[in-house]
Amino acid sequence: MINNIIKKLKIIKIIIILIFLINFIKCEDININTNNTNTNNTNNNNTNNNNTIIINDGPLCPSKPLCPCICEECGPPIGRKNSKQIFIYVAGNKQSNYTYFEKDPSVKWEEIDTLALYSNKFDKRITCLAHRNNVKVVFTIEEGSVFDDFKYLKVNGNYWDGYINTTRLVNTLLENNVDGYSLDFEYGNRHGKDLEFSNTLKTLYTKLKSVNENYQLTSAFSGYYSDVLKNQIQLVADNLDYIIIMGYDFINTKIGTNITNSANSPIGLRKIVKSWWMDPLEKKDSAKIVLAVPWYGQIAKCDLTYEQRANAATIFQADCIIDNRTSVVQKPIREILALLNNDYLIFDINNNNENIINNKIINNTIKYSSGILWTSNTQTVFSRYRDTNGDIYQFNYDSPFSIYSKLRSLGIGGAGVWSLDKIIGLPKPIIDAFYFAFSRQVIGDTYIEIN
């Protein structure tokens, strides 16, 4: 009996070894490229060398289960997928989390054209996964990553061509197999003087396209812009693949503001996009404009009179004036909706060293929740919560419908969102509705005035 068992185990062992050897031979049939740069393909217009596999610690090739390699999809930058761009930012600790991109139901690859994230601790397997789904990956970078002598530039506010290390920037793309950059300039005079900003874009844009025409360069802008940028706006458009308009953070955070009528992302964005961007640019460049909407909102404690505090109906009736000891705090939509539905999540909103929200508590236990309310002049939603102490807090945020209202028949080049990680954990029907709200079919090809 024992001898028979030993014989069977030996046979199984031999079979396992044979399977491994067969797959190993298949790997040997492939031309292995160990430098992981793919520099020989830089002039190849979206044509992958299917015989080239890049050695890495990344995912195994589906067609060669035992091969220690990354698939050919991690090669050259991919070309443009759709006529309208769906541009998705990812922030926080999820942007380098491969498992999140691979398995989380909030990541709907078929609805995404470009994924923008920061390069810190970047997991190269994400590029492979994205390219396999025909999605570009770009790095979001600020001035400090673009200019060599950033300290000087920060002080003087000037963007000079000579300070851009284009070689270093291109090498970063090659090393990570990503598809380009999304600029997010945040410091000082963002657009320099005269034509400095547009010249900066031209230098970087020209370099990227000379290496590979499928490299993508975008830049984020506020809805309104200064006279300095106004004088460069057409040159800016000429040297970008997409112009990302940040359609958020419009809420007035000054103490004493009535935030019931001050939305994070108001319907007035439509007119801003039309008059500040579509009209000044050549008609063809409307296809480069992408309006990014928020998947987050703000919370503030309302300043109440004695009578309002004593009246339970205040939660539905009064405007919310920002309390003189509370500033506005950002929270993801997933946390706002969880609190609205009394889900047991930990929220961590801190203000003036007070734990305003912890689990389902706002200072004290929540006594009333208003549900979802609507502000007609901004066409956005808000909710209020009243605690047992009589304090009222207001959340301003966006729903799928309010986002749909901003984007429908806008006739621009696409839509985006800040940021994907803020809807993790929401029910699938809500996630699907958020995606539909900024879909290509909603945006349309022609601007239609909507009252």
Under the banding of pLDDT at 50, 70 and 90, the label for residue 272 is very high
Under the banding of pLDDT at 50, 70 and 90, the label for residue 209 is very high
Residues contacting 21, CB < 8 A, separation 6+: none
Q: What is the pLDDT of residue 360?
A: 39
> What average pLDDT does this structure show over 208-226?
95
pLDDT at 14 over 70: no
Under the banding of pLDDT at 50, 70 and 90, the label for residue 154 is low
Concatenated DSSP letters of 162-220? GGB-HHHHHHHHHHHT--EEEE---SSSTT-STTHHHHHHHHHHHHHHHH-TT-EEEEE
Q: What is the pLDDT of residue 409?
A: 97
- Rounded distance between C-alpha atoms, residue 219 and residue 142, angstroms: 10
Residues in the chain: 451
- Rounded distance between C-alpha atoms, residue 273 and residue 280, angstroms: 10
Residue the block writes with tokens 């930012």 = 89
- Rounded distance between C-alpha atoms, residue 137 and residue 115, angstroms: 5
352 burial via Cβ count (<10 Å: 0-12, 13-18, 19+)? exposed
pLDDT digits 0-9 by tens, 382-408: 999 888 788 898 999 999 999 999 999
Q: For residues 369 and 337, is the Cβ–Cβ distance under 8 A?
A: no
> What average pLDDT does this structure show over 142-159?
61
Q: What percent of the chain has pLDDT over 90?
A: 52
Helix (H) or strand (E) run with residue 28 in it: helix 2-28
Q: For residues 286 and 431, is the Cβ–Cβ distance under 8 A?
A: no
> What average pLDDT does this structure show over 312-321?
90
Mean pLDDT for all residues in the chain: 80
Among 406, 270, 383, residue whose Cα is nearest residue 333:
383
Burial 249-268 (b: 16+ CB within 10 A, else e): bbbeeeeebebbebbbbbbe
The SS3 call for residue 290 is strand
Q: What is the pLDDT of residue 156?
A: 58
Q: What is the pLDDT of residue 389?
A: 81
Residues contacting 32, CB < 8 A, separation 6+: 52, 53, 55, 69
More confident residue, 448 or 76: 448
Q: What is the pLDDT of residue 348?
A: 43
Under the banding of pLDDT at 50, 70 and 90, the label for residue 417 is very high
Residues contacting 102, CB < 8 A, separation 6+: 129
pLDDT at 184 over 60: yes
- Side chain identity at residue 301, one-letter code: K
- Rounded distance between C-alpha atoms, residue 101 and residue 91, angstroms: 13
Q: For residues 217 and 243, is the Cβ–Cβ distance under 8 A?
A: no
Residue 351 tokens, joined: 């203000």
> What average pLDDT does this structure show over 240-265?
94
Q: What is the pLDDT of residue 17?
A: 58
pLDDT at 138 over 60: yes
289-294 vs 414-418, strand pairing mode: parallel
Sheet arrangement for strand 31-33: 31-33, 52-55, 69-70
More confident residue, 54 or 227: 227
**What are the residue ranges of helices labelled H in 29-50?**
none
pLDDT at 381 over 90: yes
Q: For residues 180 and 172, is the Cβ–Cβ distance under 8 A?
A: no
Residue the block writes with tokens 């966006």 = 398
Q: Please say whether the dihedral angle defined by the alpha carbons of residues 64, 65, 67 and 73, taken in this order, is positive or negative.
A: positive
pLDDT digits 0-9 by tens, 54-106: 333 444 444 443 333 444 546 667 887 778 999 999 998 898 999 999 999 99
Q: For residues 76 and 37, is the Cβ–Cβ distance under 8 A?
A: no
Q: For residues 322 and 255, is the Cβ–Cβ distance under 8 A?
A: yes
pLDDT at 21 over 80: no
pLDDT digits 0-9 by tens, 281-307: 999 999 999 999 999 999 888 999 999
Q: What percent of the chain has pLDDT over 70?
A: 71
Residue the block writes with tokens 């004036």 = 321
pLDDT digits 0-9 by tens, 317-376: 889 998 766 668 888 998 888 777 766 544 444 443 333 443 334 555 677 889 999 999
Radius of gyration of the chain measured on its C-alpha atoms: 26
Under the banding of pLDDT at 50, 70 and 90, the label for residue 1 is low
Among 94, 114, 116, residue whose Cα is nearest residue 103:
94
Q: What is the pLDDT of residue 379?
A: 96
More confident residue, 279 or 52: 279
Lowest mean pLDDT among 147-156, 263-272, 284-293, 391-400: 147-156
Q: Is the pTM of this model over 0.85?
A: no
Under the banding of pLDDT at 50, 70 and 90, the label for residue 151 is low
Q: What is the pLDDT of residue 172?
A: 93
